[in-house]
Chains A and B, each alone.
Chain A
Amino acid sequence: MLRITQAELSNSKKMIAKLNKAKNFDLSDAGELIRRMMIKTIDDNRVRDKKSASERLNGKYTKHISEVIDVVVTRDGVAVANQATLDREVPYWALINNGGVIDMKGKKIHGFFSDGSPGAGGITASFKPGPGAPLNVDMSPIAPMNYIEKTGFWVKNNIWKYVVRAMFND
């Protein structure tokens, strides 16, 4: 198993130097590297800080995307992140990647913020649905993170050669 540190992952020159020396870089190493890069891309592009993001839509989803991204090595290649698992565990993955609006046009949610304010709460306040003042749903679009595309470009630009080599070495 090839060990690439987080610092090497951020510095492609150092990482490639290590890959060039590696004798046994196989598809599972490649998959693990791509998985880590995808998680790093998501973390680097976070909009909410980790503390306030820990509640994850008021506890509706208990997992973060980074916990669900897995690697499957098959006879034909390597696959990172299973779409069926993502759809089941973290259905918001596509919205974060592609951007867009949550489909609640014209609807109002009733509830209150945990700091007691009826309107938009402070940064640390979380929204609790239930009896309370109606809240207008924010209609501004979520900016796309494009973590799938960014990881794809990273693979093509940095480790594609090594992935192909690993595919044919087996």
Chain B
Amino acid sequence: MNFSKTRNVELSIIDAIETAVNASWTGVTTVKAFAQAYAVKVPVLCVRMLSIDSKRREIGGNTLYQEFSFIIDIFAKSDGQRIDLEDFIVNTIKNGFTYYQYSRDSGQTETLSKTANGRIQWLRIDSDNRIDSGSSEDEHERYRQSITFTVTKG
């Protein structure tokens, strides 16, 4: 069963960020749901797709031009690490991503297979802010950064 384009974009980006982070950092966990981020110790990156904007690609055609907006929450261990991770992520996403077509065999829920099939183009960083929730005893709340960015499959 082949996955949909949207799911492929999301999985490709999470996969690329996780691979890049694991290659350059140790002990940083990448998750894709907000609740999961609180279940593991910091540092954690939470990568989520926030919205999809679909438009007609050309007049008279039904093909879509889609832009996908993502949000990455960084839960860091220290203020320095928060800034370093932010810098690292911005420098990772600016290069774009390889688009993978994901599929799995029926009944097989744990193993996915992927085939490279083009590129995902990075369009812009929409926002990149520190989230300051005041003094907090919870380690996740102390050094948080939120980055939103937009990509397209073209």
Whole-angstrom distance between the alpha carbons of A141 and B46 in the complex?
A: 14
A152 contacts which of B67, B126, B140 (Cβ < 8 Å)? B126
Find the A residue at minimum CB distance from B148: A149
Contact string against A for B residues 59-72, beta-carbon threshold 8 Å, 1 for contact and 0 otherwise: 00000000101010
Inter-chain contacts of A56 with B (CB < 8 A): none
Is A94 interfacial (CB 8 A cutoff)? yes
Q: Is B131 an interface residue (CB 8 A)?
A: yes
What's the minimum C-beta distance from B153 to chain A, rounded to whole angstroms? 16
Tell me, yes or no, whether A20 is within 8 Å of chain B by CB.
no
Q: Is B58 an interface residue (CB 8 A)?
A: no
A66 to chain B, nearest CB (A): 20
- Report which of B38, B126, B133, B135 forms a contact with A149, defined as CB distance below 8 A: B126
Which residues from 83 to 134 on chain A have a C-beta closer than 8 Å to any C-beta of chain B? 94-95, 98-101, 103, 105-106
* A140 near B35: Cβ-Cβ < 8 Å: yes
Q: Give the docked Cα–Cα distance between A98 and B127 (Å).
A: 13
Q: Number of contact residues on B: which range applies?
A: 20 to 34
Interface residues of A, CB < 8 Å — how many? Answer: 21
CB of A150 within 8 A of CB of B138, answer: no
How many whole Å from A168's CB to the nearest CB in chain B?
21
Does A157 make an interface contact (CB < 8 A)?
yes
B113-144 vs A, Cβ < 8 Å mask (1 yes, 0 no): 00000000000001100010111111011001
CB distance from B49 to the nearest CB of A (A): 11
Residue A156 CB within 8 A of the other chain = yes
Q: In the bound complex, what is the Cα–Cα distance between A150 and B53 (angstroms)?
A: 11
| B138 and A103 form a contact (CB under 8 A) | yes
Contacts of A100 in B (CB 8 A): 133, 138, 140-141, 144
A58 to B131, CA, bound (A): 27
How long is the Cα–Cα vector from A150 to B127 in the complex, in angstroms? 12
Report which B residues bind A (CB closer than 8 A). Answer: 34-35, 37-38, 50-51, 53, 67, 69, 71, 73, 126-127, 131, 133-138, 140-141, 144, 146, 148, 150
